[in-house]
Amino acid sequence: MRASFLSVLLLSMTACGEDALEVLQEEASDCPEAPAMRLGIAPPAAVVLNAYYLQEDAARDVRRGRTESPSVEETFAKAAALGAWAVRTNGYNDAADKRGDTALQVAPLEYDEVSLRGLDLVLTRAAAYGVKLVLPLGNYWDAYGGARRYVEWAGLPEPVEGDARFFTERAVIEHYKAHISRLLSRVNTFDGLRYGEHPAVLAWELLNEPRGKGLDADGVAMRAWVDEVAAVVKHYAPGHLVGTGEEGFDTSFAGYDELYWRAAVSHSLFEGGTSYRRNTASPLIDFASVHFYPEAYGVEREHTARAGAHWFSEHAAIARDFGKPLFIGEFAVRNREGFTLDERRAMYRGWFRCAWRTGVGSSSPWMFANDARPDEWDDFTFYFRDGTVPADSRNRYADLVIEAASLTGKH
């Protein structure tokens, strides 16, 4: 009798667990249906993978005298096998500690040719695999140089991470614009194609995760910067899409569920100097951009799944008002704390489904790693490890990428 009772108890607990996962998935996918929007030539609801490290890995291989980078080959081959339409990866590297190693710009408008050839190789091999690229042109954060690096180069006092002077100081802005013009004018040493015309590029992003901390509360200064820098990209890469690379923060609750967001997060995502609505309205911006990191954004645990659905569908609706698709450039939940793998998988599956239902142009989970990249290097890694099937739990989300890719264009 005891064994029978334990069996019933275990079955009941399993059923309860499965029910809880179904609830998470349903909450994450609870998005209104809307017409599909396309990110340029990409099919509706295309899946993009983040693999930020490709230029760095390629540059090190080129510096070793290689004509091929195993990391680049593996990443593109696996992205294609999973059905991803594009890869989002760094188009910048200004880090002082990477000078002579992988840094592209080693001093104001001075470049390391070997490191540039690493980026050449990334572009060439993406084209060979039929995988498009989304390339941010710089970083708000200190990683790989960031806004602080440009402020340092300008000789301004006490530079800090995400320094607001990156967006307002004339010398800094002119330097960044000049850098972009040089990068997009570069002719690839492997295939002879100019960056601004390279067929592997789907889109350029003005900056990775620009934030308006220290700028005006209405987002006017940030919008002025967006317009000025986007005009340069448009001039040198007229056939490519341009996005801001922002996370989706705004300066008011207009267009958002104010009551929900006041209850769901511990601090406001709708105050400060970056206006998603104002930036998306720019005639020089081709698509809207958001990221979603619920833990970093202060989303309460019990709201996590539904908060993603709100974030995606509300931003998609605002973008649609301007006739533009939404690119979910990054989204992730931490691997090693908080939610279990099954819970994260339920939410990821739901968010992919939400993106498809609500007509998002493309969505891009963070962060796809090649097999040699240690799991500890990033809080959000997932894989498609050699010798495994996508659904192997060691890969975390590879099978979900395939599922999401199978929805592409089915509107």
pLDDT at 146: 98
pLDDT at 268: 86
Question: In angstroms, what CA-CA distances link 123 with 21, 89, 136?
Answer: 40, 10, 14
Every domain of the chain and the residues it spans: 16-407
Top pLDDT among 8 and 22 is at 22
Question: In angstroms, what CA-CA distances link 69 with 75, 84, 89, 121?
Answer: 10, 20, 15, 8
pLDDT at 271: 84
Beta strands in 261-379 (DSSP E): 288-292, 326-331, 362-365
pLDDT at 210: 98
Instruction: Specify whether 152 is catalytic.
Output: no
**What is the Cα–Cα distance from 318 to 328, expressed in whole angstroms?**
14
Please report, rounded to a whole number, the percentage of residues in the chain having pLDDT higher than 70. Answer: 95
- CA–CA–CA angle 196, 199, 200 (5° rounding): 100
**What is the Cα–Cα distance from 43 to 38, expressed in whole angstroms?**
6
pLDDT at 6: 43
If you average pLDDT over residues 280-300, what whole number do you get?
Answer: 97
243: helix, coil or strand?
strand
pLDDT exceeds cutoff 50 at 9: no
pLDDT digits (tens, 9 = 90+) for 302-338: 999 999 999 999 999 999 999 999 999 999 999 998 9
If you average pLDDT over residues 376-402, what whole number do you get?
Answer: 97
Q: Look at residues 111, 265, 272, 98 and name the one whose alpha carbon lies nearest to residue 178.
A: 111
Beta strands in 180-325 (DSSP E): 201-205, 241-243, 288-292
pLDDT at 17: 77
Q: Which of 205, 314, 330, 343 is catalytic?
A: 330
Residue written as token pair 């590029």: 201
Top pLDDT among 252 and 8 is at 252
| 213 within 8 A of 272, measured Cβ to Cβ | yes
- CA–CA–CA angle 160, 165, 170 (5° rounding): 145
If you average pLDDT over residues 163-192, what whole number do you get?
Answer: 98
| 46 within 8 A of 362, measured Cβ to Cβ | yes
Q: Which of 27, 209, 247, 343 is catalytic?
A: 209
**What is the Cα–Cα distance from 320 to 299, expressed in whole angstroms?**
25
Q: Look at residues 283, 278, 289, 184 and name the one whose alpha carbon lies nearest to residue 244.
A: 289
Question: In angstroms, what CA-CA distances link 175 with 32, 156, 221, 244, 298?
Answer: 43, 13, 18, 18, 35
Please report, rounded to a whole number, the percentage of residues in the chain having pLDDT higher than 90. Answer: 92
110: helix, coil or strand?
strand
**What is the Cα–Cα distance from 105 to 115, expressed in whole angstroms?**
9
Instruction: Specify whether 330 is catalytic.
Output: yes
pLDDT digits (tens, 9 = 90+) for 140-153: 999 999 999 999 99
| 125 within 8 A of 119, measured Cβ to Cβ | no
Beta strands in 188-336 (DSSP E): 201-205, 241-243, 288-292, 326-331
With cut-offs at 50, 70 and 90, classify the pLDDT of residue 408: confident
pLDDT at 2: 47
pLDDT exceeds cutoff 50 at 368: yes
pLDDT exceeds cutoff 90 at 10: no
pLDDT digits (tens, 9 = 90+) for 55-64: 999 999 999 9
**What is the Cα–Cα distance from 61 to 101, expressed in whole angstroms?**
10
| Spatial CB neighbours of 326, under 8 Å, sequence gap ≥ 6 | 37, 287, 288, 289, 290, 312, 315, 316, 319, 320, 360, 361
Report the DSSP beta bridge partners of residue 365. 331
- How are the residues of the chain apportioned to helix, strand and coil, as percentages rounded to the nearest 5? 45, 10, 45
If you average pLDDT over residues 365-373, what whole number do you get?
Answer: 97
| 384 within 8 A of 78, measured Cβ to Cβ | yes
Give 279's Cβ-side CA count (13 Å radius).
36
Average pLDDT of the chain to the nearest whole number:
95
pLDDT at 409: 61
Q: What is the DSSP string of 83-94?
A: T--EEE--S---
pLDDT at 255: 95
**What is the Cα–Cα distance from 189 to 184, expressed in whole angstroms?**
14
Rg of the chain over all Cα atoms, to the nearest angstrom: 21
pLDDT exceeds cutoff 70 at 1: no
Beta strands in 263-319 (DSSP E): 288-292
pLDDT digits (tens, 9 = 90+) for 98-136: 999 999 999 999 999 999 999 999 999 999 999 999 999
Determine if residue 299 is left, alpha or beta; phi over 0 gives left, psi from -120 to 50 gives alpha, anything else beta: beta
pLDDT at 411: 54
If you average pLDDT over residues 174-193, what whole number do you get?
Answer: 98
pLDDT exceeds cutoff 80 at 157: yes
If you average pLDDT over residues 341-360, what whole number do you get?
Answer: 97
CATH superfamily of the 16-407 domain:
Glycosidases (3.20.20.80)
pLDDT at 272: 82
pLDDT exceeds cutoff 90 at 392: yes
